[in-house]
Amino acid sequence: MNKPSLQVYRRLLRYSRPYYGRIGLAMLGSLAVAGVDVASAQLVRPLVDKVLGAGNYYLVNFVPFIIIGLALIKGGGRYVQEYFIKTAGQLVVQDIRNDLYEHSMGLSMRYYSRNTTGGVMSRILNDVGMLQRSAADVLVETVREVFALIGLTASAFYSDWKLACVAFVVLPAAIVPASVIGRKIKDYTRRSQATMASLTAVLQESIAGIKVIKAFGTEWQENNRFRAENLAFYKFIRKTLKYDSISAPAIELLGSLGIAGVFWYGLHRVISGAITQGELFAFGASVLLMYGPVKRLTKVSNTMQRSVGAAERVFETLDEVPEIRNATDAVPLVNVKGEVIFDRITFSYDEEPVLKDFSLVARPGEVVALVGPSGAGKSTVSALLARFYDPQEGSVSIDGMDLRKITLESLKNQIALVDQETFLFNDTISNNISYGRRDASDELIKDAARKAFAEEFILEMPAGFDSRIGDRGVRLSGGQRQRLCIARAILRDAPILILDEATSALDSESEAAVQLALNNLMKNRTTFVIAHRLSTIINADKIVVIEDGRIQDIGPHQELLQRCSLYQKLCAMQFRDME
């Protein structure tokens, strides 16, 4: 077994420690099962020699009771073993899935920009699912078959050590093909799981974008894409099945050589009078029973290799170090006034800088609007303030404290965000509004909805605030979803507010109403407004014009109209479109 596989097994064993009690009970059950197999082999000798050979036929009446008794012991032992070992395996995998999900939630935004949603889902569901299916089987089969093999081997050597040596000559030869097959299975399992991640990604995208697919009539295109990924997955699974299927015949062929040698040599020893017929049949029973566990352990080895292939992908994610995390000397952010300073920021998602030498000061209570062409870097500014990313150069600070020196939990508590991508959970309206503040009373939730001009349409719904809104709020209009997001930010009541296209999905009437609510919300709060509709930010204290990641000009609306050509151009385009 190579070093990486051993490391995977050690990590899996560490997850097993809380359940050693269950595993111990399962081992006792395994001992009972193995003991019955050994006893069955050893009982062949007295049956042949004492009953059939010596003519003590009255002992035949005890045979049914012995068989039934052994079956009861074996059945009870097998139940205890399988129940406790399988529940232990399920609990281990449950802990792994919980840790994987929790760790994934803590990973930085850059990780999610590098990996598809379907790929992340596949690791949590498919990879852990394979681990879940195989872990219990591996534990059950390994414990039972190892005990049985040890007992039967001891029985064989006890019966006749010379015959046992003949039987075991072929076992070393079986190790080589078994190990080669195992490595192949592990490799193809890992590659098939990677293909399953692509398949999951296609599925997730298709379901999420079903409206676009229907609108453009591209169902055939998505069908072909899914079929291609599904075929790629099958090709890897086929290779895994090929190597898995060849393992048992290989062991049977090698085992037949050992059994043939045993009976050829054993019959000669019976003829010469070295052993009795009963001893030969007892030994033969031990060997025949012994090759059963050997074959099953080969299957278990293949299953273990599939587990390792899936577990390696799981542990890869668990070993991913979050880019954004608390510094060792991080302190909580309290009593926030709301001064925000961007000091000579340079930031890039990949290689090309998105912000270059970006410096900006927002005084407590100021409304700072960020405007500019698409791709200028406006949303990146808000992402740095929320510390979704850290800049490569420069710093972002609140009240003079570098964000990297502030605990993440306290930072999030001081910021409310309304994003251009309205996201709501498949839950009640009340729970969506109180998402960032679960301790809020019903009255506070209703007040937030009222201020966001959402109460009217909420009360028209069948269950009011207890109405469920479907996946991503599919049962609501775009404007209604946006107003619920605004209500969520209002309830958050944070000193720093980020509005990234907060009114983009509203019609003119709703926009005017919500803009009034936002004006009230922005009072005494440091607010960053990102807007393509310049009409919504005319009254901002400070308008920052950004182009290609650099600040072109800063000032109020009237001053920028007079001196900033880019702002004049943006305004001319906007108001011409409005006319």
The pLDDT of residue 579 is 39
Per cent of the chain over pLDDT 70 is 77
The pLDDT of residue 135 is 58
Among 405, 408, 416, smallest CA distance to 526 is for 416
The pLDDT of residue 506 is 62
Residues in the chain: 579
Cα–Cα dist 490/522, whole Å = 10
Helix (H) or strand (E) segment spanning residue 237:
helix 219-271
CATH fold, domain 3-318, is ABC transporter transmembrane region fold (1.20.1560)
Cα dist from 546 to 197, 266, 344, 378, 578, whole Å:
39, 92, 14, 7, 22
State the sign of the Cα–Cα–Cα–Cα dihedral 131, 132, 134, 137.
positive
Provide the mean pLDDT of the chain. Answer: 79
Q: Where exactly are the structural domains of the chain?
A: 3-318
> Cβ-count burial of 46 within 10 angstroms (0-12 exposed, 13-18 middle, 19+ buried)?
middle
Q: Say yes or no to pLDDT of 168 above 80.
A: no
Q: Say yes or no to pLDDT of 344 above 90.
A: yes
Choice among 114-118, 264-268, 410-414 with the minimum mean pLDDT = 264-268
Contact call for residues 231 and 179 (beta carbons, < 8 A): no
Cα–Cα dist 427/123, whole Å = 25
Choice among 401-405, 446-450, 459-463, 512-516 with the minimum mean pLDDT = 512-516
The pLDDT of residue 362 is 92
Q: Say yes or no to pLDDT of 577 above 50.
A: no
Q: Which residues pair with 428 in a beta bridge?
A: 468
Cα–Cα dist 174/172, whole Å = 5
Among 122, 140, 290, 135, smallest CA distance to 197 is for 122
Cα–Cα dist 461/214, whole Å = 28
Q: How many other C-beta atoms can be found within 10 angstroms of the C-beta atom of residue 567?
A: 22
State the sign of the Cα–Cα–Cα–Cα dihedral 413, 418, 424, 430.
positive
Q: 491 falls in which pLDDT band (50, 70, 90)?
A: confident
Cα–Cα dist 398/185, whole Å = 54
The pLDDT of residue 232 is 83
**Angle at the Cα of 392 from the Cα atoms of 363 and 416, rounded to 5 degrees:** 40
pLDDT tens-digit map of 84-106: 887 887 888 888 888 988 888 88
Q: Which residues pair with 543 in a beta bridge?
A: 369, 555
Cα–Cα dist 62/43, whole Å = 12
If you compute the radius of gyration of the chain from its CA atoms, what whole number of angstroms results?
35
The pLDDT of residue 468 is 86
Q: Which runs of consecutive H residues, i.e. helices, occur in 51-170?
A: 63-106, 109-114, 117-122, 128-159, 161-168
Cα dist from 140 to 81, 127, 132, 489, whole Å:
7, 20, 13, 52
pLDDT tens-digit map of 197-208: 777 777 777 776
Q: Say yes or no to pLDDT of 352 above 50.
A: yes
Beta strands in 235-379 (DSSP E): 340-348, 353-362, 367-371
> Cβ-count burial of 258 within 10 angstroms (0-12 exposed, 13-18 middle, 19+ buried)?
buried
> Cβ-count burial of 9 within 10 angstroms (0-12 exposed, 13-18 middle, 19+ buried)?
middle
Choice among 105-109, 124-128, 165-169, 565-569 with the minimum mean pLDDT = 165-169
Q: 114 falls in which pLDDT band (50, 70, 90)?
A: confident
Helix and strand numbers, DSSP H then E, in the chain:
20, 10
- What's the pTM? 0.73
